[in-house]
Chain A
Amino acid sequence: MLSVRDLAVSLGPETTPVDIVAGVSFALAKGEILGLVGESGCGKSMTSLAVMGLLPQPGPRVRAGRVLLEGSDVTRLQPWQRVEAGHGRMAMIFQEPMTSLNPVRRIGDQIAEAVQVHERISGAPALSRARELLELVRMPDPGMQLSAYPHQLSGGQRQRVMIAIALACRPQILIADEPTTALDVTIQVQILGLLRELCNRLDMAILFITHDMGVIAQLADRVAVMYAGRIVETAPVDALFGRPRHHYTRGLMDCMPSRNSGARRLPTIPGQPPAPGSVTAGCAFASRCASVREVCRVAAPPHTSVSQGHEVLCAFPLDGGSSP
């Protein structure tokens, strides 16, 4: 349904661009949840904004690649042109719902506004559609909450409102950028459960962006791991957690405290990710990789398919056995 091919997003002048996202390719099927995971600055948010056509202007731009929605390239379209085209509806939710909502307008009106952008209906039916949407996102007491202001809601309820607004356009694809990072764990589990339920009920695909491997393991069907602007490993969720093949993926899993409770020291990945543009040759992870070889520093790592649907960007992938 959605297919991203060799996407590159760059900053800086046209003549000497610095790629912050490079060679990113993935596909999203109907009703599927794809988790895009990585640490700060790896390019996961830039990828999602590029797909949505929401890259800040002026600033980063799509330098190369295509974003195909049901076969047509949307990278050259403005968001309003996409709305008019009416195909391949996509919507997005963000990390902090409070900054995404208008603090001085009732939430019913804010949802109804989103409804009216996409459907030519008048105020009253738009408001009753808003109520339906609040029911759909399992808002407690939806009729009452229509007239509430954002500050009267809890963080979890605000994120439910944001999801309701996103669903107003009946999206086929929902892009969720760290939607539960600002929430407490007991509320996070509710919102993740809601997203899974909506995905199944509405046959909607979700691109879920997070830094949290635990959240990915709970929610995603497939996972793409990003490092320094590139996808370094893609796999079905069971294969990724059962047999990680990229050294970075393995390192990320090993340093999670919840996988190590009881250990004296946590395993770490030495150093820190490279600044954009600082790696000109070889693998971007080479300087931190425990199994680095000479060729890794000079030659770009190849895409290797290690099993059905499991790809890794590494010349010497892990064999995927038990701990080294």
Chain B
Amino acid sequence: MSGDVILDVRDLKVSFSARRSGRKYRVQAVDGVSLSLAEGEVLGIVGESGCGKTTVGRSIVGLLAPDSGAIRFKGADMIGGTRLHEMRLNVRMVFQDPYASLNPRRTIGDAVAEAGDINGFFKSPAERGAAIAATLTAVGLDPSFAARYPYELSGGQRQRVGIARAILPTPSIIIADEPVSALDVSVQAQVLNLMMDLREELGLSMLFISHDLGVIGQISSRVAVMYMGRIVEQATTRTVLDHPLHPYTRSLVAAIPKPDPTKRILGMIETGEPPSQFNQPRGCAYAPRCPIASDRCLVDAPELRLVGTDGRSLACHNV
């Protein structure tokens, strides 16, 4: 499983300007995120709406320009680097909404071949056709789909196309942003299995972004939990799911609706009001919701630090 570090993100900061009630604000969507992805590893990023998980993913593939920080792919800088094209072919993205991410007027074959076309990857039309057919087969679609249009496909089939687009030519890393959230559970299971198979067959590394700890638990070996632009806890997936330490992770794990009517949680856990990006606290962002917050938490934002011996890191003063 574990190999050399293939992707290294250091102190990433991304902000957006926004206007509210006539005033201009700077919203710090990502506030100093560092993470590293080892060769062949699946790292999950989990968090709720607005926590910055998608912004991290989009910054890594170069769809957003960060304010500061470094993103290195196999040691080479991805921001302002000289081999950007090569890196972009090697770090690819699978998007959430298989309806919005495919051009309705292009055939499936053209969509799948797009990255190869742009980069002059195919030597002849015959080679291009064969590559499309092989890629469609790899994601469990019949090669005849190449001539079809997105409207002819179901949600699950479209997401298979979304994955096919990301693996031709074969990349080193896939950034998957909520790739199964728009799918029904039975189809979700099919697509998750496909992603696990492809990871193994093609030797991919993956950054898997999701709000769903169940899905993350299925596919990733390590998970980073984000809250208001920062990583608050990072550890192996089993550790996070079975023994969460950060109070936010604890409430996130506790709030998953367990499919077991004998283990009911309603009315038994307090989760507090969600934060607003326009009103970022000076200290720990979670302090206003936190059951164990102390005076220090209100003024002093905790740094991510290593705890214990199993590689867990945690940003909390009181755990």
Interface residues of A (CB under 8 A from B): 39-40, 140, 154-157, 184-190, 192-193, 196-197, 211-220, 237-238, 241, 251-253, 255-269, 272
Contacts and interface: CB of A to CB of B under 8 A. Distances in A.
A39 B211 contact: no
B6 interface: no
Most A CB atoms within 10 A — which of B215, B259, B260, B264?
Answer: B259
25 contacts: A154-B273, A154-B274, A184-B48, A184-B274, A189-B266, A189-B269, A189-B271, A213-B185, A213-B259, A218-B261, A219-B266, A237-B261, A252-B185, A256-B189, A257-B215, A258-B214, A258-B217, A261-B214, A262-B217, A265-B193, A266-B193, A268-B189, A269-B186, A272-B154, A272-B187
Given A40-B184, A186-B271, A268-B189, A257 B259 contact: no
Contacts of A197: 267
Contacts of A193: 266-267
A35 to B, nearest CB: 10
Nearest to A220: B261
Contacts of A262: 217, 238
Interface of B: 48-49, 154-156, 184-190, 192-193, 196, 211-215, 217-218, 238, 241, 251-252, 255-262, 264-267, 269, 271-274, 276
Contacts of A252: 185-186
Contacts of B255: 185-186, 188-189
Given A186-B251, A189-B265, A259 B259 contact: yes
B271 A217 contact: no
B250 to A, nearest CB: 11
Contacts of A241: 259-261
Nearest to B211: A184
Contact of A214 (B196, B251, B259): B259
A196 B189 contact: no
A268 B259 contact: no
A212 B255 CA distance: 14
B264 A218 contact: yes
Contacts of A140: 273
Given A40-B184, A192-B257, A257-B192, A185 B218 contact: no
Given A196-B266, A213-B259, A258-B214, A272 B156 contact: yes
A107 B251 CA distance: 30
Contacts of A263: 218
Given A157-B273, A211-B185, 6 more contacts: A196-B266, A214-B257, A256-B185, A257-B218, A258-B217, A267-B189
A253 to B, nearest CB: 7
Most B CB atoms within 10 A — which of A216, A252, A265, A268?
Answer: A268
Given A186-B271, A217-B259, A257 B214 contact: yes
Contacts of A189: 255, 257, 265-266, 269, 271
A259 B217 CA distance: 10
Contacts of A258: 213-214, 217, 256, 258-259
B277 to A, nearest CB: 11
A186 B218 contact: no
Nearest to A223: B261
A10 to B, nearest CB: 22
Contacts of A259: 259
Nearest to B218: A257
A215 B264 CA distance: 10
B189 A255 contact: yes
